[in-house]
Amino acid sequence: MSFRNRLRFEHQLAALVGVLCLALVAATVGGAIWLERQSAVGLAEDRLARLAVGMAESLDATVRERFREIQVVAGLVPLRERWAADPSMTRGILAAMHATAPDYAWLGFVTPDGHVRAGTEGMLEGMAMNGRAWFETGSTRPTVGDVHEAAILNRLLVRIDPEPLRLVDLAAPVRDAGGRVIGVLAGHLSWDWAIRVRRRLLDDGLPGTDLWVLDRNGRVILGPRLGVAPFDPVRLGAMTEEGRGTFAATIAGETQLAGFASAAKGERSENAIGDPGLGWIVVAMRPEAQILAPVHHSIHALLGLGAGIALLGLALAWSLGYRAAAPLRRMTAAMGRIGPDTDATTLPRLDEAQEFAAVAAALSALLGRLGAVERELSDATLRSTRVAAFYRRQIEDLRQAAGTDMLTGLLNRRGFAGPAEEAFEQARAGRRGVAVLVADIDHFKRVNDQHGHDAGDAVIRHVGALLAEAVRGSDTVARFGGEEFVLLLVGLGLSEAAHIAERLCTAVRNAEIAHGGRVMAVTVSIGVATVSAGDPDIEAAIARADAALYEAKARGRDRVGVAAAREEAERAA
Arithmetic mean of pLDDT, 143-155: 85
Enumerate residues 6+ apart whose C-beta is below 8 A from 332.
2, 5, 6
- The most confident of the ranges 46-60, 150-164, 322-336 is 46-60
User: Where is average pLDDT lowest: 22-36, 92-106, 391-405?
Assistant: 391-405
Look at residue 334 in the predicted model and tell me its pLDDT: 60
Rounded mean pLDDT, 386-406: 68
Place 271 in a pLDDT band, splitting at 50, 70 and 90.
very low
Task: With a cut of 50, say whether residue 81 has pLDDT above it.
Answer: yes
**Residue among 526, 500, 502 at smallest CA distance from 441:** 526
Please, what is the angle between helix 2-75 and helix 288-324, to 10°?
160
Predicted model pTM: 0.50
More confident of the two residues 503 and 335: 503
Q: Give the pLDDT band (50/70/90) at residue 356.
A: very low
The stretch 24-42 carries a mean pLDDT of 83
Q: pLDDT value at position 479? A: 94
Q: Helices marked H in 109-219 — which ranges?
A: 133-138, 153-156, 192-204
Instruction: Among 89-103, 136-150, 397-411, name the one with the lowest average pLDDT.
Output: 397-411
Higher-confidence residue of 110 and 515: namely: 110
Q: Please give the mean pLDDT across all residues of the chain.
A: 82
Greater pLDDT, 268 or 563: 563
Please report, as a single letter, which amino acid is at residue 162: P
Give mean pLDDT, residues 494-512.
Answer: 92
Mean pLDDT of 541-553: 93
- Between the CA of residue 360 and those of 79, 354, 357, 367, 453, what are the distances in Å? 109, 12, 7, 11, 79
The residue among 33 and 264 whose pLDDT is bigger is: 33
Question: 560 forms bridges with which residues in the sheet?
Answer: 526
Which pLDDT value is given to residue 529? 94
Helix (H) or strand (E) holding 106: strand 104-110
How large is the average pLDDT for residues 250-256?
86
Q: Please state the rounded mean pLDDT for residues 288-316.
A: 77
